[in-house]
Amino acid sequence: MLETDRLFTGSIPENYDRYMVPLIFQPYADDMAHRAAMLSPGAVLETAAGSGVVTRALAQKLATGARYTVTDLNQAMIDYASSRQLSSAMMKWQQANALALPFESASFDLVCCQFGAMFFPDRVAGYREARRVLKPGGHFLFNVWDRIEENTFAEDVTKALAEFFPNDPPQFMARTPHGYHDKAQIQRELGEAGFANVGIETRAEQSHAASPRIVAVAYCQGTPLRGEIEARDATKLEAATDYVESAIAKKHGKGEVSAKIQAHVISAQA
């Protein structure tokens, strides 16, 4: 993973929430919120919260009196997510690194993290921090994308950009979001961090968009893939987006489009 893979700055948070969230993140956020609420936690920590899609789904499901602390490495994401959330006494927003959490040990009943572990530069360290802040018997709930071949639009976008930049194809999607999918590795690293009762469920969903344009803008301008495109030629962001749009339309049609997405949902106990 490159350092730039973790940058969600400028207009990326807004485009991410406007396009990427409904395209691929919402069904998994609803699933995570349901699983989290079933555990009836009194104190919840969310790491790598992004634009707050899980936060919005889960906050309304928690019991009265629960505490919900929401964090992300990127202050821009925290600012955007908090602006989308109704003010509530249960909520606390804080910029924080999941590998060095600024919280006391045994402070939370549940730590949840939607599609963030792939971005951890040291996942075992991140898992150890999650375990440290959990109370004995507390739960860690997170998800990661399956391999890119199981996520059609991500693969389509990556292939199209390889055609557009044949001498230096952007590999962000394959390298980072879809680069941590080996279930044996995930189980082993959670064990190294001290977790027990690890469960991994592979869950397929459908991604929907009103047009190929939405898919192209979502990936090319709503993720750190934008930085990879602009690093190759800052003047070609729109042209690259147009090329991806054409490739999606050629394969899936010019109207409403849909395709498979797939992820692993992981639960573990401290």
pLDDT at 222: 87
| 87 has a pLDDT exceeding 80 | no
Which residue from 45, 77, 112 is spatially nearest to 224, judged by alpha carbons?
Answer: 77
Domains of the chain, first to last = 3-269 (3.40.50.150)
- Which whole number is the average pLDDT over 1-30? 71
| 1 has a pLDDT exceeding 50 | no
pLDDT at 5: 36
Residue scoring higher pLDDT (74 or 110)? 110
Task: Look up residue 151 and give its amino acid.
Answer: N
Look up the pTM and report it: 0.92
Residues 111-137 have pLDDT tens digits of: 999 999 999 999 999 999 999 999 999
Residues 145-202 have pLDDT tens digits of: 999 999 999 999 999 999 999 999 999 999 999 999 999 999 999 999 999 999 999 9
Put residue 231 in one of left, alpha, beta given phi > 0 → left and psi -120 to 50 → alpha: alpha
Which residue from 111, 112, 108, 113 is spatially nearest to 135, judged by alpha carbons?
Answer: 108
